[in-house]
Amino acid sequence: MKIPPSYQIDKNKIKNKKLKFAIIVAKWNHDVTKKLYKGAYETLIQSGILKEKIKTWEVPGSYELIYSAKKIALCYNFDSIIVIGSLIKGETHHFDYLCQSISQGIKDINIKYDVPVIFCVLTDKNKKQSFDRSGGKIGNKGIECAKTALYMAFFKNSI
């Protein structure tokens, strides 16, 4: 299987109907994460991935993305896993701790398991910024992450 030459995935190039994707969505700030999910899911479908090859799970918050991605990496054989979350800076220091531990946790899974885990966790100052990046004026990071997942699925299978 060849890796597509550019970051933009051409639907016609996706010949492999067996590629399997997992999407894990945190429900915290669900008004944001549901838009990221929509962007990611629709991008996979538009790229020719079969509906039945995309499996979705929901977890309470972004912190739970770590365990759930690990469990899915361990128990299944997906070609890529997309984790979706939205962290919004509040009054406490939790934001910094959460951002740090979630990115480290997802990084650890990428190292330990043979599946690319794509980081679609927004870390924003406020809701407006999050909406701008989840289908607003800056675009939709869910779409970008699905393209990355496609690319990495090809990469995984090319080696």
| Per-residue DSSP letter, 118 | E
Strand ranges, E, within 37-114: 54-59, 80-88
Least Å distance between CB 149 and ligand RBF? 20
Question: Sign of the CA dihedral 56, 133, 145, 104?
Answer: negative
For residue 79, state whether it binds ligand RBF (rule: CB under 6 A). no
Provide the terminal-to-terminal Cα distance of the chain, rounded to the nearest Å: 9
Nearer to ligand RBF, 32 or 73 (CB): 32
State the helix-helix crossing angle for 64-75 and 94-112, rounded to 10 degrees: 10
Using rule CB under 6 A, residue 58 touches ligand RBF? no
* Whole-angstrom distance, CA of residue 7 vs CA of residue 29: 29
DSSP state for residue 13 in the 8-state scheme: G
Q: How many CB atoms lie within 10 A of CB 19?
A: 24
Chain residue whose CB lies nearest ligand RBF: 61
Question: Mask 2-41, x = binds ligand RBF (CB under 6 A)?
Answer: ------------------------x-xx------------
> Which span (80-88, 112-120, 128-136, 146-154) binds ligand RBF, by CB under 6 A?
80-88
Task: Please report whether residue 93 would count as binding ligand RBF according to CB under 6 A.
Answer: no
Annotated binding site for 5-amino-6-(D-ribitylamino)uracil: 28, 62-64, 86-88, 119
Residues designated catalytic = 94
Q: Give residues in contact with ligand RBF (CB under 6 A).
A: 26, 28-29, 60-64, 85-88, 90, 92, 94, 98
